[in-house]
Structure 1
Amino acid sequence: MSVERVVDLVRAGERFLVMGHRRPDADAFGSALGWAAFLRAAGKHADVYVPDALAPSLEYLRDAAVVHATLPAEARYDAAFVMDTAARALLPTPLPPRDVRGPLVVVDHHAAHDDVGDVVVRDVGACATGEVVIALGRALGVEAIPADAARPLYAAIVADTGGFRYPTTSAHTLRLGAELLDAGADPWEAAYSLFEGWEPARLRLLSAVIDTLETHLDGRLAILRVTREMLSSLGADDDMVEGLVSYGRALRGVEVAALLWEWPRAGGTSAGGTAALDTKVSLRSQGRADVSVIAVELGGGGHRGAAGAQVEASLDETARLVRKSCARLLE
């Protein structure tokens, strides 16, 4: 890791930009807000840049004073931090040019990753990037978790550990959770916002997705599907798809669950002039299987227990590729 380089960068600079990956989840957004709070506690200026719309489940964390969808033309920074980002394709767009943002610092916890970032702090043993942020803040000399970091960093950790249920949860994770509660995080606020508080359309979508369930490899692989027509007819949106793959993993005997999700290809059109569709793949493991292996074969990445990819292929072809890769993994 390059903790010392980050500390030197922060101590030498005054103004910093903090971002999450494209379409940020709770770990990316919470880590960005939390790191900005640590920077302010160290006497620095920090802006959080989020050009994408936030998922409704994350709106409770938004701080209008520090979260910006666009940056002023005159803005200049000594360095930019991008949180929870392992791939160049996941960098936020538009990404401010180097003469605006300064060097790019990646703070992450993914084992599979691209060569992205001028400086990289990556701890693959951390349960979430939020955990890495706390360690960085303490290396910077801010021992006590700032009050305005507690809610977002608790969200980051509780989301990436599935409510402290996943195998990445350790005694250290739980101690950090307790520290964040002491600093002001509200466990029910986070649990309700991140895991409940559904709109009716999402419940209807779940019902439709469960109807697509198919199992393979003697019940060890479960595949679920989401189509654009399904979303449109139910009044649902893409944010409502996040997390539904876990219902496939909930089946007894399933070792790998995959959710295949039609996704508009950026700038692409089909032969008939309609929007071309890729397939996003969300993968979850019961623990024994390393689903990042499947994701990497499909051009993506992630963790042992949770990974994903975007494939330039139809749902059916992607399902075939997933079955083939999973069969090798589980043999």
Structure 2
Amino acid sequence: MNDESFEKIAKQIKQHNSFIITSHVNPDGDSLGCELALARFLKKLNKIVHIINHNETPKFYEFLDKNNEIQKYFPEKHNELIKNSDVIFILDTNQPNRLRSLEEPVLKSPAIKIVIDHHLEADNFADYYLIDEQATSTAEILYKLLLFMNNNLLDYDIAHPLYTAIMTDTGSFRFPRTDVETHQIIAHLLHFGVDPTEVYSKVYETWTPGRIQLLAKSLSTLKLEYDGKLAYMICTIKMFESTGTTEVETDNFTNYPMSIEGVQIGLLFNELDDGVKISFRSKGDIPVNELAKELGGGGHKNAAGARLFNVNLQDTIITTIQKAKKYLI
């Protein structure tokens, strides 16, 4: 990723007027922060911008979007917008199937498609790719692009979601790729008045009672395998229903099995109406993304995911644990 890569994207922005911004199913802090930061930057260039997602924004990220800039996708409302836009930005994913309901209208649109992402193994569907697999987050890449284009346009409204995106995707600056450059970027964003305490509190200290109850139920399912090297937790449909929660509220639940001494791989199994979602975490050199790939998923070396459709929860747990054995040290 170099100035030439940035220049190609900058040229498309300068030459076009209408933009759609979207991201993956179940948006997280990185995807939402990037969408809002990019949209606000484009609006400063007097562009027409719409952010459209498959899911509604999780409640603990609503503080980023007080003016409801992000819209939930409805075909009758948005298909023409998507079809007639000049450019579509796909952020924090490089797999069109992760757009879920937006996959078809995005792929069918004649608009120029630009992917900005930090994940491995991009699908060949876009016109331009700005990808850095070594970046801590998509926000780190976007930050560099915005600075390249016009650093004078950065302000609090852009810095705030970028900070949130980097904070959440680095696990509050503790994940392996966090380095000197990461902290230099954060220091620059803080100059615009971002309050780290406020952001952390909004994301991590606004849980509902139902979410706490869900965590308690999930922790009661905690099991260890392979002499304590693998740990996993489960959230069932019954648990979601009894606590009034959804799979979105299991964000960061994988921290708990990973916090056990000696655990190398941590797993979270979420039972859904149409299948099972698995979150994978690992320590050190264990490529948990390779394990996820065996189950149709993907991600980073130490953090990945997979979504299996029309499968049984218990069968999926057994299969996944068996496949995980060869990755343990």
- Whether these two folds match at TM > 0.5 is yes
CA distance in 1, matches of 2:241, 2:130: 40
> Per-residue displacement from partner, 1:293-326 (whole Å, max 9, x unpaired)?
1111110011111100012432222222222222
Counterpart for residue 301 of structure 1: 298
Counterpart for residue 93 of structure 1: 101
CA distance in 2, matches of 1:97, 1:144: 29
CA distance in 2, matches of 1:72, 1:212: 42
The residue identity in structure 2 corresponding to 1:22 is: V
Counterpart for residue 41 of structure 1: 44
Instruction: Kindly state the Cα deviation for residue 86 of structure 1 after the two structures are TM-superposed.
Output: 2.6
The residue identity in structure 2 corresponding to 1:236 is: T
Structure 1 unaligned runs (5+)?
266-277
1:72 and 1:284, CA in 2 relative to 1: closer, same or farther beyond 3 A?
closer
Counterpart for residue 113 of structure 2: 104
1:172 aligns with one of 181, 185, 196: 181
CA distance in 2, matches of 1:156, 1:97: 24
> Per-residue displacement from partner, 1:68-120 (whole Å, max 9, x unpaired)?
33556764321010110132211252354567671211110012443332211
CA distance in 2, matches of 1:97, 1:246: 34
TM-score where L is the length of structure 2: 0.90
CA distance in 1, matches of 2:129, 2:302: 23
Q: List aligned pairs for 1:34-183, cutoff 5 A.
A: 34-64=37-67, 66-69=69-72, 75=81, 76-95=84-103, 96-97=105-106, 102-142=111-151, 145-183=154-192
1:251 and 1:77, CA in 2 relative to 1: closer, same or farther beyond 3 A?
same
Counterpart for residue 278 of structure 2: 281
Counterpart for residue 290 of structure 1: 287
1:64 and 1:93, CA in 2 relative to 1: closer, same or farther beyond 3 A?
farther
The residue identity in structure 1 corresponding to 2:301 is: R
8 A Cα contact 1:300 1:310, kept in partner: yes
CA distance in 1, matches of 2:48, 2:220: 50
Aligned residue pairs, count: 319
8 A Cα contact 1:279 1:314, kept in partner: yes
CA distance in 2, matches of 1:310, 1:68: 24
Counterpart for residue 245 of structure 2: 236
Question: Which deviates more from structure 2 when the two are superposed, residues 206-215 or residues 180-189?
Answer: 180-189
Q: C-alpha root-mean-square deviation of aligned residues, in Å?
A: 2.0
CA distance in 2, matches of 1:142, 1:44: 17
CA distance in 2, matches of 1:144, 1:172: 21
1:223 and 1:104, CA in 2 relative to 1: closer, same or farther beyond 3 A?
same
8 A Cα contact 2:17 2:86, kept in partner: yes
- The structure that is helix-richer by fraction is 2
CA distance in 2, matches of 1:229, 1:22: 22
Counterpart for residue 5 of structure 1: 8
Counterpart for residue 205 of structure 1: 214
Structure 2 unaligned runs (5+)?
none
Secondary structure of the residue that 1:254 maps to in structure 2?
coil
The residue identity in structure 1 corresponding to 2:47 is: K
Secondary structure of the residue that 2:102 maps to in structure 1?
coil
CA distance in 1, matches of 2:213, 2:187: 36
Percent identical across equivalent pairs? 31
CA distance in 1, matches of 2:54, 2:233: 30
